[in-house]
Amino acid sequence: MEIFQHFLTILIPLIIITDPPGNLPFFLLFTEQNTLDERRKMAAIASSSAALILIFFALTGDFVLRFFNIGLPAFQIAGGFIFFIYALQMLCLIPSNIKATQQEEKEGIEKQNVALVPLATPLIAGPGAITAVLVWRHNPESSLSTPLLLLAIIIACLLIYIVFYFGEWIRKMLGVGGIRVVSRLMGLLLAVIAVQFMVTGFQQLC
């Protein structure tokens, strides 16, 4: 039971940070000129590529922090700050062009294949998700941290694939307003997670 609870503390925030409902409108916008089969193929490529990017950082996190001589508390504080900015974006309290710039969004609309850029990165596997993975990679609470983290990454990206795969159906069922409500609720949860990240980082510095 303790392992399962520890797993949920990784999986749920990662799902919120990757923000499947918030990224769905981008996916539908970027692929509106493509056929249904092409959309589903792009959904598979985007989600699997994002998973590989996050898994790479999960496996190389030790080297990254050692190379730059960065302590975990500093990373937690910085990560919490990034999460809080994303939360404000999801709550529509600040402009929405943080994960992807206007140029990247415009390029995404014009490109024929948007699966890798900007969908896989920076929209799904963006700075927030990568920072979260690096922080959780160094979580001392469980010796199973890395396997649980890898499993959480796979499940989160699989959920993104499912949301993209059934994107048109979800848009018809929820509508634009419904998707925004879900995204804002997730933004509120992310804001709480962000504050907890920063509090934990400051406690370790004291």
Reduce the secondary structure of 85-130 to three states and give it as a string.
HHHHHHCCCCCCCCCCCHHHHHHHHHCCCCHHHHHHHHHHCCHHHH
Cβ–Cβ under 8 Å, residues 13 and 193: yes
pLDDT tens for each residue of 101-122: 555 555 555 555 689 988 998 8
The whole-angstrom separation of Cα 101 and Cα 206 is 37
pLDDT tens for each residue of 52-110: 999 999 998 778 777 878 777 887 888 888 888 888 888 888 876 555 555 555 555 55
Cβ–Cβ under 8 Å, residues 181 and 189: no
pTM: predicted TM-score of the whole model, two decimal places: 0.84
Residue found under tokens 């499993």? 151
% of the chain exceeding 90 in pLDDT = 32
The whole-angstrom separation of Cα 178 and Cα 200 is 34
Before 118, cis peptide (omega within 30)? yes
Domains and CATH numbers, the chain: 2-205 (1.20.1250)
What does pLDDT average to over the chain?
Answer: 84
pLDDT computed for residue 99 by the predictor: 56
